[in-house]
């Protein structure tokens, strides 16, 4: 049953991507489909497929692991959204905000090394929390004249504290998930 649903999902996604490629063949009749849009949609459809596969994989884990994964994933998604949309340190155009890419990098590398195992994920999320906590400190040290925006230095540290808490909670949940597994 699961293989049948996986097959349906991937065939549907492939059909959508092929329909975009087919529409591009008729571009001489219309300028509706741009090549950069086609690539963006193809990447989006492949991401949907990857999320589906991840969901299937997570269903085989215990509830605590899924909760830990969800909190960590929410923290990363929310961090990317906030830092990309409005910026955490000043505006979204402030280059100092690029340091926030270190957090998903730590999570990606740690998850890859640990193969998503309980203990490795726990350490990975604790490392992500530490990196998140260090970013405003580093920004303050290397660029004291940086524009901190309307929130000011205290506001930036409070926002970072929220993300530190999310990653630390996720790490603690991974620790608890490991204990429940044993």
Same domain (yes/no): 107, 174: yes
Q: Which domain holds residue 47?
A: 1-60
Q: Please measure the distance between the N-terminal and C-terminal CA atoms of the chain and give it in whole angstroms.
A: 30
* 46, 88: one domain: no
pTM of the model: 0.77
> CA 107 to CA 163: how far, in whole Å?
13
51 and 74 co-located in one domain: no
Q: Is residue 74 domain-shared with residue 147, that is, in the same domain?
A: yes
Q: What does the alpha-carbon distance between residue 105 and residue 128 come to, in Å, rounded to a whole number?
A: 9
**Residue after which a domain boundary falls, among 13, 33, 60:** 60
The stretches of the chain forming alpha helices (DSSP H) are: 2-25, 35-59, 63-85, 102-114, 118-142, 152-181
What percent helix, strand, coil does the chain show, rounded to 5? 80, 0, 20
Spell out the long-range contacts of 112-116 with Cβ–Cβ below 8 A and sequence spacing 24 or more.
Answer: none
Domain-terminating residue out of 30, 45, 60: 60
100 and 38 housed in the same domain: no
Domain boundary residue among 60, 80, 98? Answer: 60
Within 10 Å of residue 43's Cβ, how many Cβ atoms?
A: 11
- Domain count for the chain: 2
Looking at the structure, do residues 75 and 123 belong to the same domain, yes or no? yes
Residue 151 sits in the same domain as residue 168: yes
| pLDDT at 31 (0 to 100) | 60
Where the chain has pLDDT below 70, the residues are: 1-2, 26-34, 144, 182
Q: Structure tokens of 75?
A: 């923290």
- 48 and 105 inside one domain: no
Residues 50 and 69 in one domain: no
Do 44 and 81 lie in one domain? The reply is: no
Clarify whether residues 36 and 91 are in a common domain: no
pLDDT at 30: 53
How confident is the model at residue 173, as a pLDDT?
Answer: 96
Do 70 and 114 reside in the same domain of the chain? yes
């Amino acid at each position: 049953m699961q293989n049948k649903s996986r097959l349906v999902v991937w065939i549907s996604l492939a059909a959508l991507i092929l329909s975009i490629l087919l529409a591009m063949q008729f571009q001489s009749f219309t300028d509706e489909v741009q090549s950069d849009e086609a690539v963006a949609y193809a990447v989006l459809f492949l991401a949907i497929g990857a999320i589906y596969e991840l969901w299937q994989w997570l269903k085989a884990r215990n509830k605590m692991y899924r909760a830990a994964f969800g909190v960590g994933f929410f923290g990363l998604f929310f961090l990317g959204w906030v830092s990309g949309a409005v910026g955490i340190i000043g505006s979204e155009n402030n280059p100092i905000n690029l340091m926030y890419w270190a957090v998903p990098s730590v999570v990606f590398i740690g998850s890859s090394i640990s193969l998503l195992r309980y203990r490795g994920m726990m350490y990975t999320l604790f490392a992500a929390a530490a990196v998140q906590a260090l970013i405003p400190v580093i920004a303050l040290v290397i660029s004291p004249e940086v524009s901190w925006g309307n929130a000011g230095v205290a506001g930036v540290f409070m926002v970072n504290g929220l993300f530190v808490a999310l990653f630390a909670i996720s790490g603690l949940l991974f620790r608890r998930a490991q204990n429940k597994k044993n």
